[in-house]
Structure 1
Amino acid sequence: MTAVVPQDTDNARQTEHNDGLTEALTDVLSGARARGGLFHRAVLAPPWAVRVQDGTPLSVASMLRGEGWAWHSEDPQPVRMAPGDVVVLRGPAPYVLADDPATEPGLLIQPGDCCTTPDGVDMCEELALGVRTWGRSMDDPVALLSGNYQLHGDLSARLLDALPPVLVLRKREWDSELMALVAAEVVKDAPGQQMVLDRLLDLLLVSVLRAWFARPEAHAPAWYRAQSDPVVGVALRLLHEQPGHAWTVATLAAKAGVSRANLARRFTELVGEPPMTYLAHWRIDLAARLLREQGATLGAVARRVGYADGFALSAAFKRLRGVSPRAYLAGHTEG
């Protein structure tokens, strides 16, 4: 007689493992909420090179037609870009997009979406070709689409820390049909268009990173890899699902079916920090996101993420972020 129970058990465990990885990625990517994100279409003719030094936390770029190269000041190895490929570049350090690695940048993108020559001449008016489009002629052979997050508060620190300075996905490796939708919306000037573009920027980033995290060479961060551990994965899922619970190492260990010492050791080895330290940072990351929601109050957010009141949350927030919740919100509202 065929023994089906072990096979079903294995399938159930694999499903649980995959669900855990999905939850981990979802929790981190759910922090991506663009507000006033910028999209541009550049129409170019070789030789061309643009140095982006606007200090934004994260950018995406893709060739609509023609080819080019991208490289980052923290990872100067050039990456080739073909039509449909997408590159994600982590800020705030500068990066360069060019027709050839040997081409010197002739344009600089400065903070405030200002485009200048290397000697400071403003080129925005001269290069304007239409809605969110710049260049010298619409007939030029290269079209480059770029988008970026303007505020660090639009992205979780855990997400930014998980990314290399530059990553590239080839057209065949992700749902590149999405880029056609983005390209069509970028040149529209309609009511509510900024909101549409913000959501498209979020969708584009999530689509790309989901495909990238699935690659074995992606070097996924410790918190992501740890989801596969039968003990630590359980603890991580509980912390993410119930951040407001009064967790202790002992209660987590009981849920995971191991001793307190065993959980503490394995969690620290795999995640890189003890369970309660991880929980403290996760609560503050979540609080930072929730506080930006319309109508949110400090007290209500505090209770959702496991603090007795707004005073306790404010003290923890300042200890881990270096600023109070009020100062954090004021800074990220102003950009």
Structure 2
Amino acid sequence: MTAAPVQTDDPLGEALHHLRVTGAFYCRSELTAPWGLSMPNWPDSMWFHIVTSGRLELVVDGTERVMQAGDLALVPHGNGHVLRSEPGVLTPDVVTLEHEFHNRYAILRHGGGGAVTTLICGAVRLDHPVAHQIVPLLPGIICVEPGGGPQAEWMQSTLRLIAAEAAAVRPGGEAVLTRLSDILVIQTLRGWIEHDPAAQRGWLGALRDPQIGRAISLIHREPARDWTVAALANELAMSRSAFAARFTELVREPAMHYVTRWRMQVARHWLAEGDATVSEVAGRLGYQSEAAFSRAFKRVTGVSPGTLTRR
């Protein structure tokens, strides 16, 4: 079961605290020109690519970017994309190529024998309900390049450590690479949230509002509480009408719609963990009957809760 929420006076920081990476697949690639790879479309995952030596071209949704050693790219929505040494090369599906497997970690050697490019790649998931709020807001690609500032230097130091680990086979190297990669994914997301103008609006912007941010935190902390617009407004010492209007303006949906949607996201997370029945989840979220909970769940998610427990 999910741990109790951390309570702070920083609603945005409180939300980001819960971001956790679940690795689906990690790969160290040793590629020699000419080479090309097609990454499959994995909608529930995020692809990341860290260039540890050499250069490559990344093509996402028709947009081409050149990456060099020390660069990181995150494809947050799991869209299919292409990595290649140059235009015009064949780009076979990466999953059809022969890999050397080590549990969830693999080594790929591919290409025509020319100039060498090495990569650390992976597909990861963010498995907390907060991720369902953040991921839809992210752009199609996020790139991190060498630059100034404390955060950039910290990330480049981590990238250099990853490059050093990838260059030599050492005891525990796989664990180091996967854990450092997870940290970089989270830091990349945090950097985007802190600095990109698009992150100052909508749900992320609402978290920065002193009153509405606190309301969102209360809903997150106590999803089973019998929330009403009046009860939330009272917690913030606001009038019911002023709170309702401001919440809808900033979050872009009515407060009670948000309460229900958040409950269903929490329910989906609990059911996916597999340690609670539908009836238990319904009770934990304050529903008087399993039937009422199931109706709400299907209305919000489009599937019945029993579907998740069978999975």
State the TM-score, normalized to the length of structure 2.
0.79
Aligned-residue offset at 1:188: 7.4
- Structure 2 distance, partners of 1:231, 1:155, is 19
Contact 2:274 2:309 in 1 (8 A): no
The corresponding residue for 1:132 is 106
- Structure 2 distance, partners of 1:320, 1:151, is 20
- CA 1:229 to 1:217, structure 2 compared with 1: closer, same or farther past 3 Å? closer
Aligned-residue offset at 1:263: 1.0
The corresponding residue for 2:118 is 143
Alignment of 1:260-279 (within 5 A): 260-279=240-259
Contact 2:35 2:84 in 1 (8 A): yes
Find out whether 1:39 has 2:26 as its counterpart: yes
Contact 1:24 1:224 in 2 (8 A): no
- Structure 2 distance, partners of 1:258, 1:327, is 41
Contact 1:43 1:141 in 2 (8 A): yes
Amino acid paired to 2:46: L
Deviates more, 1:210-219 or 1:318-327: 210-219
Q: Deviations over 1:227-258 (max 9, x none)?
A: 22232122111111211111100010111111
Alignment of 1:264-303 (within 5 A): 264-293=244-273, 295-303=275-283
Aligned pair count reads 293
SS at match of 2:253: coil
Q: Deviations over 1:173-204 (max 9, x none)?
A: 2524444666648997999x79x887665433
Aligned CA RMSD, in angstroms, stands at 3.5
- Structure 2 distance, partners of 1:250, 1:328, is 34
Contact 1:157 1:285 in 2 (8 A): yes
- Structure 1 distance, partners of 2:48, 2:107, is 16
- Structure 1 distance, partners of 2:302, 2:46, is 22
Q: 2:223 aligns with which of 237, 243, 260?
A: 243
Contact 1:264 1:274 in 2 (8 A): yes
The corresponding residue for 1:6 is none
> Which blocks of at least 5 consecutive residues in structure 2 are unaligned?
1-7
> Which blocks of at least 5 consecutive residues in structure 1 are unaligned?
1-14, 116-122
Amino acid paired to 1:85: D
Q: 1:95 aligns with which of 63, 66, 81?
A: 81
Aligned-residue offset at 1:303: 3.2
The corresponding residue for 2:132 is 157
Q: Deviations over 1:192-232 (max 9, x none)?
A: x79x8876654332222112211134535511111222321
Find out whether 1:53 has 2:40 as its counterpart: yes
Contact 1:38 1:149 in 2 (8 A): yes
Question: Percent of counterpart pairs with the same letter?
Answer: 29
State the TM-score, normalized to the length of structure 1.
0.74
- CA 1:135 to 1:270, structure 2 compared with 1: closer, same or farther past 3 Å? same
The corresponding residue for 2:58 is 70
- Structure 1 distance, partners of 2:179, 2:198, is 25
Find out whether 1:25 has 2:20 as its counterpart: no
Find out whether 1:318 has 2:292 as its counterpart: no
Q: Deviations over 1:156-189 (max 9, x none)?
A: 4323202111111224425244446666489979
Deviates more, 1:265-274 or 1:230-239: 230-239
